[in-house]
Amino acid sequence: MAGPFLAHLFWIHKITEREEIKMRKIKVLLVVVCALTFLWNGSAIAQGAKPIHLRIAAAGLGSSLYVYAAAIGELLKPHLPQGSTVDILPSPGGVANAILVADGRAELALTHSVAARWANDGTVSFKTKQENIRGIVGEMDAYFMAVIVTKKSGISSIDQIKEKKFPLRLMTVPVGGNGEIGTRHILESYGMSYEMLKSWGGSVAHTSRTAITDAMRDGHADAHIHIATPGHPAISEIALTTDVRFLPLKEEIIKTLGNKYGYSKTSIPAKTFKRQDDEVPTIGAPTVLIAAKTLPDEVAYWTAKVVSENKAKLVQAHAGLKDFNPEEAWKREKVWTDLHPGAAKYYKERGWMK
């Protein structure tokens, strides 16, 4: 009996050993699957989720904001559920973009610090506080107002326009962009308006960046005032194709615009553009990425993440982003509005936000 019994025990031991090996393999497989699942879910919004349709409000073709938005959209696409889309919306920019988000016509938008501040406070271009706007990334670049005149016009200062009642042919981007609003603010601070320019025989046209560039080059315009950043496509082309002069703002004007509207004191560094050899004192308003309050937390999280962790790729797309500091992008004085909870989660995970 001993022989069969021992044989039976040996057989049971072999089965147990095989099962143990099998279980070990299953455990290893489960660990691998869990790890892969973690990595998969850690690199994208939960798989199986419904496709998302994101609209990013930017500015017109030939603008820095359009380039920024396109780059951000490409970085974000791989992390969205399968079948999702990202559309870049051309717009006047700035204030118009804040309105698009506030009204639910865009989920994300690039605007400027002053517009985000006005929207949050319900001032200047906004009658009431815009409750649907939240911050994602603040102070992405160094934007400044550029006052550009053709040398052919003979204008050497902004004061000269009023003193001589110069029949200035001024061109701006469409109404609603920060460049156009900033133009009105600068004229106002020097005691001028669109109506005054027209009364002196001048003109004011609100049109596309391409049309402005062509008009400046072809001698059909004397001046263009716009918010710009190093490498700005349209301003760079104007400086390359037209003999122009960049006019400085007076110190007292800079202070007035800062106190009244929230612009920051800044300057255009020397040689930022062709034919601009000297530093030019002016006002600034860095770019801010905002979102609708209703944007899902995970989308806001990944938006903050891809922007913060891909600075090199963003700079490749546009040199204006070279001074972006992700570690401070969450601060109130950078975004000028309440931070989206999803973005806050990312900044806290990185240890940047306490």
**What's residue 176's pLDDT?**
80
- pLDDT band at 272; cut points 50, 70, 90: very high
**What's residue 38's pLDDT?**
32
**What's residue 281's pLDDT?**
98
Spatial distance between the Cα atoms of 268 and 274, rounded to a whole number of angstroms: 12
Domains and CATH numbers, the chain: 53-141+286-349 (3.40.190.10), 153-282 (3.40.190.10)
pLDDT above 70 (res 267): yes
Cβ distance 102 to 69 under 8 Å?
no
Q: Which residues have CB under 8 Å from 283's CB, separation 6+?
A: 144, 145, 182, 186, 249, 254, 257, 258, 263, 264, 265, 266
Span 4-33, pLDDT tens digits: 333 332 333 333 334 433 333 333 333 333
Span 132-142, pLDDT tens digits: 999 999 999 98
Spatial distance between the Cα atoms of 227 and 112, rounded to a whole number of angstroms: 10
Span 199-257, pLDDT tens digits: 999 999 999 989 999 999 999 999 999 998 888 889 999 999 999 999 999 999 999 99
- 140: tokens are 């992405």
> Per-residue pLDDT averaged across 272-286, rounded?
95
Q: Which residues have CB under 8 Å from 121's CB, separation 6+?
A: 129
pLDDT mean across residues, the chain: 87
CB count in 10 Å sphere of residue 150: 20
- The greatest distance separating any two alpha carbons of the chain, rounded to the nearest whole angstrom, comes to 124
Spatial distance between the Cα atoms of 30 and 69, rounded to a whole number of angstroms: 40
> Per-residue pLDDT averaged across 42-71, rounded?
84
Span 319-335, pLDDT tens digits: 999 999 999 999 999 99
**What's residue 48's pLDDT?**
62
pLDDT above 90 (res 79): yes
**What's residue 60's pLDDT?**
86
pLDDT above 80 (res 129): yes
